[in-house]
Amino acid sequence: MAIIYNAVEVKIPKFKHKEMNLWIQEVAKSYQKKIGEISYIFCSDKEILRMNKVYLAHDYYTDIITFDYSKEDIISADMFISLETVCSNAKKYCTEEDEELRRVMIHGILHLCGFKDKKPEDAVIMRANENAALKLSIK
């Protein structure tokens, strides 16, 4: 099990890595999943747009892109998170930047646990699971 944090064109945000790792593990465990190799790569809007175009053929900004390498009940992935989009979303949704970052980080984990969010009814379930996970999270 390993959760690692890297950055491209930005600095890694300040948070308690050990506590964050424990929280992520706890959330995964609540869905009967184990953490394999998780890599969070924090990046700029420019980089996430490039990734979105090159790997997904999408020409728009997003907060997170998840490359899923999971097998059975062990979740593994590379997750690229645009810190610029996280910050702008925090303003848009009137929340603290650190809470929005935790929401995006756990959003990726929830996708790995099998949750979808493309359909409106799925998005409601995803948001409820994000909110439940945030109640467990560190501050």
Residues with Cβ within 8 Å of 46's Cβ and at least 6 positions away in sequence, in order, are: 9
Residues with Cβ within 8 Å of 128's Cβ and at least 6 positions away in sequence, in order, are: none
pLDDT digits (tens, 9 = 90+) for 60-75: 999 999 999 999 999 9
Residues with Cβ within 8 Å of 130's Cβ and at least 6 positions away in sequence, in order, are: 103, 106, 107, 110
pLDDT digits (tens, 9 = 90+) for 94-114: 999 999 999 999 999 999 999
> Alpha-carbon distance 127 to 138, whole Å?
18
Q: What's the pTM value of the predicted model, to 2 decimals?
A: 0.94
pLDDT digits (tens, 9 = 90+) for 70-92: 999 999 999 999 999 999 999 99
Angle at 119 between CA 100 and CA 112, to 5 degrees: 55
Map residue 54 onto helix, strand or coil: helix
Give yes or no for residue 43 having a pLDDT over 90. Answer: yes
Q: 136 falls in which pLDDT band (50, 70, 90)?
A: confident
Between strands 2-8 and 64-68, the pairing is unpaired
- Domain annotation for the chain: domains and CATH numbers: 2-136 (3.40.390.30)
Ramachandran bin of 54, using left for φ above 0, alpha for ψ from -120 to 50, beta for the remaining angles: alpha
pLDDT at 139: 54
Supply 46's token pair: 């420019």
Angle at 16 between CA 74 and CA 45, to 5 degrees: 75
pLDDT at 106: 98
Amino acid at 34: K
Q: 1 falls in which pLDDT band (50, 70, 90)?
A: confident
Q: What percent of the chain has pLDDT over 90?
A: 96
pLDDT at 26: 96
